[in-house]
Amino acid sequence: MDYDYVLVGQGIAGTTLAWHLHRSGRKVLIVNDSSRPSASMVAAGIFNPLTGRKLVKTWMADELFPYAMHFYGGLEEELQARFLYLRNIYRPYRSIEEQNNYLAQTAEPGIARYVLDRPAELSYNDFLNAQHGGLEVTGAGWVDLPVFLHKSREYFIRHELYLEAVFDPNEMVMRDDWVEWRDLRIGKVIFCQGVDARDNALFSWLPFAPVKGQLLEVSIDDFPAEKIVNQGIFILPDESGIHKVGATYSWHDLDWETTDEGRLYLEEKLKGLLKVPYQVLNQRAGIRPSSKDRRPMIGFHPQFQQIGVFNGLGTKGVTLAPYFANNFVEYMEKGKDLNSLVNIGRYFSLYYQ
């Protein structure tokens, strides 16, 4: 074979899978069209073990988060770049009732391990409407995805693992247990295309449920760039002074365009949260490649076992991608089980309808 694996797409899915295959000693080629919009380049990259208004523990947080920290931390050293930021999340209470409910939940051991065991430090109270105090979530932070993806691409280019090109699935010729594409003999082709997979006839039958999201980039006078703030929306502080505010969720008008409606929604939330003035500098939009059951979609085509997919990472791709890239590679290379909750075998009935 010219390549053991060809990966189509270099967002967070394709990049993490490429690293795991490369480290396993396999010959890998990433084919990517960088002119296409990418959700990974827009995403804030926040990872948070306790989410939602009811303080729900993130699915598989105890397994996903330690693996992700090890993965990104190791790559920072290898790539000589910084993109992993460990930051607590400050959640101001909206009311005394919410304060009581949250404090009762923190008695549960699974929740308690991710909550600061002392009252949250109050340095933000000069900037925020937080008269009832707040809860501080530990084990959280963010990954600067543009830096991570760009530095990874530079590495892949230096090691001849990257091809800038449009990959047309119609150009593939299926052989018994390999694929021919542009005169290359390839063991397996794995599509890591994000929402573009909806237009790929090989996997368009999967139940994608894409979600459009928008965020603002703002400046806030003298805002302390320390903790992430989360109360209905997030404020992701940055030492540069350009902070991200987000995000919206929309299941209609699935395009890459920003809207006045999205900006007004975020500004209304931000005004209710901040005591101090701010200025909007930019607005960005992306489409998250989510699935209907909010679980990744990983595995091989029911008819062509040399054609795979690594997709559906949704809003939590920062922590899902490293762990399940490793799971997928161990499945392909070592015969280990692929987690049944992410295996696309759960959807094969849709293909045969």
Question: Three-class SS string for the chain?
Answer: CCEEEEEECCCHHHHHHHHHHHHCCCCEEEEECCCCCCHHHHCCCEECCEECCCCEECCCHHHHHHHHHHHHHHHHHHHCCCCEEECCEEEECCCHHHHHHHHHHCCCHHHHCCECCCCCCCHHHHCECCCCCEEEECCCEEECHHHHHHHHHHHHHHCCCEEECCCCHHHCEECCCCEEECCEEEEEEEECCHHHHHHCCCCCCCCECCEEEEEEEEEECCCCCCCEEEECEEEECCCCCCEEEECCCECCCCCCCCCHHHHHHHHHHHHHHECCCEEEEEEEEEEECCECCCCCEEEECCCCCCEEEEECCHHHHHHHHHHHHHHHHHHHHHCCCCCCCCEHHHHHHHHCC
pLDDT beneath 70: ranges in the chain: 119-123
- pLDDT tens digits for range 304-337: 999 999 999 998 999 999 999 999 999 999 999 9
Superfamily of domain 3-42+146-208+292-351: FAD/NAD(P)-binding domain (3.50.50.60)
Contact predicate 352/344, CB 8 Å: no
pLDDT at residue 111 in the model: 93
pLDDT at residue 53 in the model: 82
pLDDT at residue 185 in the model: 97
pLDDT at residue 126 in the model: 84
- pLDDT tens digits for range 36-46: 989 999 999 99
pLDDT at residue 12 in the model: 97
Distance, in Å, from the CA atom of 7 to the CA atom of 351, rounded to the nearest integer, reads 22
Predicted TM-score (pTM) of this structure: 0.95
Q: What would be the CATH architecture of the domain defined by 89-138+211-288?
A: 2-Layer Sandwich (3.30)
109 alpha-carbon distance from chain centroid: 27
Distance, in Å, from the CA atom of 324 to the CA atom of 341, rounded to the nearest integer, reads 11
Domain boundaries in the chain? 3-42+146-208+292-351, 89-138+211-288
